[in-house]
């Protein structure tokens, strides 16, 4: 590296200079945009573990120190002091809203929560046991078919309206997917309730009894949604950008991001964590020791769910908040959960085990979130849906940032071809 640049030397003694791109915080980058044209080489980086796909002003993560900031504000400050919609505004528009801006933003969200009535038949068409993530991703795409203007929005006003529509309607979609799965009537949104209250109302109210909201549940869910709001170029966000780079609509891009989130190595891990803890609880053969042994066995594809992270080599700050919060929420709900005890024991055993210590594998956001979601009354099949509602502002903010970035190009990685070289065609009768 010389004078802020890097020099790449090849075996034939040729070399090329690569420029550095500075970051305001964290790792700088080596700009390889001219590498292929100047050297005839491409880079090999499975999973893009060393590759920055974009410059971004949204979220900063210091994985070694376990720090997470959105637009400069620490996740701890935001989780403690903000509403989820405030954080959504911050991510999308770059500043914390003042009182008038927040009032206007909340009003505009709460007055767009209704789904087109024709969407009812859409929910009816799914099988009763449909996983709500499948319904959520499909419905997100389906909503866009009612608003042609959002298909290829170009004006800022249309993009803002599309974002508001998505944020406003996603809780309704999520709650209806749940109601469908339990065979209860859909509950319509209420403009009088705030964002989180309204979602809880559509989830848990039933026509046969009065329903009142517990402020402790609202507060806890608000914190959980904030903790999931954005997280750099994770698998689902990178998917949103990949799909959006073809100039696909925000709705189509976000729906694709939801499908990526669903996988158990990403957002689907929160459901898998509870299933793993439940198995340790229920099955006498599945102990903490046997679970860790399986996770360490390279011949077994089982992984310790809720542990490990591409970016953190330290405790995930979101998991730190949730770990202490879990106890708090259970106390406030005046309930206990044997799975919390098991989770604590499993964490302590993993953090004392050389395999996990050497690889710097710590609990991630999904390890404790499920225990809190459970305490709030959500079934495990809804956990990844809750993650998606929380992550929506991050996906939208990334889509907006990508859409206005002059450096954006259609996502189209190269490959290193390792197949057959040219072969003579063989007619079918000679094969």
Q: Which residues are identified as catalytic?
A: 309, 366
Give the nearest distance from C-beta 363 to ligand ACO in angstroms: 9
**For ligand ACO, which residue has the nearest CB?**
308
388 near ligand ACO (CB under 6 A): no
Nearest to 29 by CA among 52, 1, 3, 4: 52
Residue closer to ligand ACO (CB basis): 189 or 268: 268
Gap between the Cα atoms of 57 and 75, Å rounded: 15
Q: Which of 309, 317, 347, 368 binds ligand ACO (CB under 6 A)?
A: 309
The residue range among 172-180, 260-268, 404-412, 421-429 that interacts with ligand ACO, by the rule CB under 6 A, is 260-268
230 near ligand ACO (CB under 6 A): no
Give the nearest distance from C-beta 383 to ligand ACO in angstroms: 11
Spell out, one character per residue from 24 to 53, where the chain touches ligand ACO: x when CB under 6 A holds, - when not.
Answer: -----------------------x------
Q: Which of 123, 176, 199, 307 binds ligand ACO (CB under 6 A)?
A: 307
Q: Which of 112, 151, 310, 381 binds ligand ACO (CB under 6 A)?
A: 310
Give the nearest distance from C-beta 180 to ligand ACO in angstroms: 26
Give the nearest distance from C-beta 303 to ligand ACO in angstroms: 4
Are β-strands 67-70 and 6-9 bridged in parallel, bridged antiparallel, or unpaired?
unpaired
> Where does 245-303 have alpha helices with state H?
250-262, 269-282, 288-296
Nearest to 150 by CA among 127, 168, 136: 168
Secondary structure (3-state) at 86:
helix
Task: Please give the torsion angle defined by the CA atoms of residues 161, 200, 319 and 311, in that order, rounded to the nearest 10 degrees.
Answer: -30
347 near ligand ACO (CB under 6 A): no
Q: Which of 153, 267, 370, 390 binds ligand ACO (CB under 6 A)?
A: 267
What tokens appear for 158 in the block?
């249309």
| Binding to ligand ACO in span 355-374, by CB under 6 A | 359, 361, 364-366
Give the nearest distance from C-beta 231 to ligand ACO in angstroms: 7
| 394: region left, alpha or beta (phi > 0 left; psi from -120 to 50 alpha) | alpha
The residue range among 65-73, 113-121, 265-273, 326-334 that interacts with ligand ACO, by the rule CB under 6 A, is 265-273
305 near ligand ACO (CB under 6 A): yes
Residue closer to ligand ACO (CB basis): 172 or 234: 234
Gap between the Cα atoms of 225 and 378, Å rounded: 14
391 near ligand ACO (CB under 6 A): no
| Binding to ligand ACO in span 285-304, by CB under 6 A | 295, 303-304
Nearest to 78 by CA among 336, 349, 309, 393: 393
Give the nearest distance from C-beta 397 to ligand ACO in angstroms: 17
What tokens appear for 229 in the block?
């709001």
Gap between the Cα atoms of 377 and 217, Å rounded: 9
What tokens appear for 9 in the block?
């030397």
Nearest to 136 by CA among 158, 111, 166: 166
Residue closer to ligand ACO (CB basis): 204 or 262: 262
Distances (CA, A) of 43 to 21, 51, 233, 242, 279: 18, 10, 19, 19, 43
What tokens appear for 371 in the block?
């225990």
Which parts of this chain interact with ligand ACO (CB under 6 A)? 47, 234, 265-267, 269, 295, 303-310, 359, 361, 364-366
């Amino acid at each position: 590296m010389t004078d802020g640049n890097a020099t790449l030397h090849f075996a034939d003694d040729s070399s090329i200079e690569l420029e550095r791109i500075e970051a305001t915080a964290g790792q700088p980058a080596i700009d390889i945009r001219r590498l292929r044209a100047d050297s005839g080489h491409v880079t090999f980086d499975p999973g893009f573990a060393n590759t920055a796909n974009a410059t971004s002003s949204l979220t900063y993560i210091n994985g070694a120190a376990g720090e997470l900031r959105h637009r400069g504000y620490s996740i701890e400050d935001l989780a403690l002091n903000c509403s989820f919609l405030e954080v959504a505004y911050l991510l999308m528009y770059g500043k914390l809203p003042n009182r008038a801006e927040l009032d206007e933003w909340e009003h505009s969200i709460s007055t767009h929560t209704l789904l087109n009535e024709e969407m009812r038949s859409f929910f009816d068409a799914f099988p009763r046991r449909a996983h709500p993530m499948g319904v959520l991703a499909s419905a997100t795409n389906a909503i866009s078919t009612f608003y042609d203007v959002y298909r290829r929005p170009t004006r800022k006003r249309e993009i803002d309206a599309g974002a508001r529509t998505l944020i406003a309607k996603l809780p309704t979609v999520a709650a209806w997917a749940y109601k469908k799965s339990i065979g209860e009537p859909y509950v319509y949104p209420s403009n009088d309730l705030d964002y989180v209250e309204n979602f809880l109302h559509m989830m848990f109210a039933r026509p046969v009894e009065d329903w009142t909201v517990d402020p402790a549940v609202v507060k806890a869910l608000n914190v959980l949604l904030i903790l999931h709001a954005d997280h750099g170029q994770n698998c689902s966000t990178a998917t949103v950008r990949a799909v959006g780079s073809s100039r696909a609509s925000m709705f189509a891009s976000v729906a694709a991001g939801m499908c990526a989130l669903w996988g158990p190595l990403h957002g689907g891990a929160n459901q898998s964590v509870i299933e793993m803890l439940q198995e340790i609880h229920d099955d006498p053969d599945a102990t903490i020791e046997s679970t860790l042994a399986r996770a360490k066995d390279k011949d077994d594809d089982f992984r310790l769910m809720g542990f490990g992270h591409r970016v953190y080599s330290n405790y995930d700050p979101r998991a730190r908040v949730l770990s202490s919060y879990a106890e708090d929420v259970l106390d406030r709900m005046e309930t206990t959960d044997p799975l919390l005890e098991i989770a604590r024991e499993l964490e302590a055993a993993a953090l004392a085990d050389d395999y996990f210590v050497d690889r710097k594998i710590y609990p991630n956001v999904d390890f404790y979130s499920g225990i809190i979601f459970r305490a709030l009354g959500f079934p495990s099949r809804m956990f990844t849906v809750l993650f998606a509602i929380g992550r929506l502002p991050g996906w939208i903010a990334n889509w907006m940032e990508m859409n206005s970035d002059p450096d954006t190009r259609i996502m189209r990685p190269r490959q290193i071809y390792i197949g057959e070289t040219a072969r003579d065609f063989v007619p079918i009768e000679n094969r």
